[in-house]
């Protein structure tokens, strides 16, 4: 007999899935950082594109897989339940990814940050007063990175869970299984 899905179970399943999504995203982020440390622009660009695709499509497949597992594990899972699950998983994985990204920026050596700002200034042809204002922004870069990365991850996960929660139930409709086949009386 399958257990029923309640709010606590949704949070528990979301926490596990959020850690899984966060781990995949952080692994891709670390791969990009490792490629950037090689100092070869082509390798850095290629690794960035490939790892972005792996992260993007990997999270889509993981969300689909985790929602299918949720549907199979619990009795009477509704579209709203799977949407709540995905949204909460996005919130928690976004927290992990944003924290890791902010930590990378926070631990970045001062020389690397100066090089990055210098490159930006030369490309944009910034004046001295504009460079001073950039310096004020650089001091708060880890905070802004954390906030905007968390918002981005949450919004991406929310849209993805809205799409995938419907996909899971459309697939159930067309694959021949019905809710009655999975009733609580089965043992």
pLDDT tens-digit readout, 27-60: 999 999 899 888 888 998 999 999 999 999 999 9
* pLDDT confidence of residue 37: 85
Average pLDDT over residues 148-162: 95
Helix or strand (DSSP H, E) at 8? helix 7-37
pLDDT at 119: 77
pLDDT tens-digit map of 82-93:
999 999 999 999
- Return d(Cα 179, Cα 86) in angstroms, integer: 21
What tokens does 46 get? Answer: 């290629």
What value does the mean pLDDT take over residues 130-137? 76
The pLDDT value recorded for residue 169 is 77
**Rounded Cα gap, residues 78 and 111, in angstroms:** 53
Of 172, 179, 187, which is closest to residue 75 (Cα–Cα)?
179
- Cα 125 to Cα 38: distance, rounded to the nearest angstrom: 27
**Vertex 102 angle, CA 105 and 64, to 5°:** 125
pTM: 0.80
Q: For residue 75, which phi and psi values (nearest 5 degrees)? A: -85, 140
- Radius of gyration, CA atoms only, the chain: 21
Look over the chain and give the mean of its residue pLDDT values, rounded to a whole number: 86
The whole-number pLDDT of residue 187 equals: 41
Cβ(94)–Cβ(59) below 8 Å: no
How far is 113 from 158, CA to CA, in rounded Å?
A: 33
Helix/strand/coil for 75: strand
pLDDT band with cut points at 50, 70 and 90 for residue 23: very high
Range of lowest pLDDT (100-109, 111-120, 147-156, 172-181): 172-181
Q: What is the pLDDT of residue 182?
A: 46
């Amino acid at each position: 007999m399958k257990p029923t899905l309640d709010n606590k179970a949704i949070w528990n399943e979301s926490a596990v899935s959020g850690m899984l999504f966060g781990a995949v995203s952080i692994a891709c982020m670390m791969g990009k950082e490792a490629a950037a440390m090689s100092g070869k622009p082509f390798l850095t660009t290629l690794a960035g594109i490939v790892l972005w695709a792996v992260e993007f499509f990997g999270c889509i497949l993981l969300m689909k897989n985790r929602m299918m597992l949720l549907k199979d594990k619990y009795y009477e899972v509704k579209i709203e339940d799977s949407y709540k699950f995905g949204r909460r998983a996005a919130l928690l994985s976004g927290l992990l990814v944003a924290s890791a990204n902010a930590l990378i920026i926070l631990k970045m050596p001062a020389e690397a940050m100066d090089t990055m700002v210098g490159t930006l200034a030369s490309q944009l042809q910034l004046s001295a007063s504009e460079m001073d204002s950039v310096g004020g922004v650089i001091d708060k870069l880890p905070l802004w990175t954390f906030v905007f990365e968390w918002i981005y991850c949450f919004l991406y996960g929310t849209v993805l869970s809205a799409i995938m929660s419907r996909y899971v139930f459309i697939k159930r409709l067309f694959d021949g299984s019905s809710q009655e086949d999975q009733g609580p009386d089965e043992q």
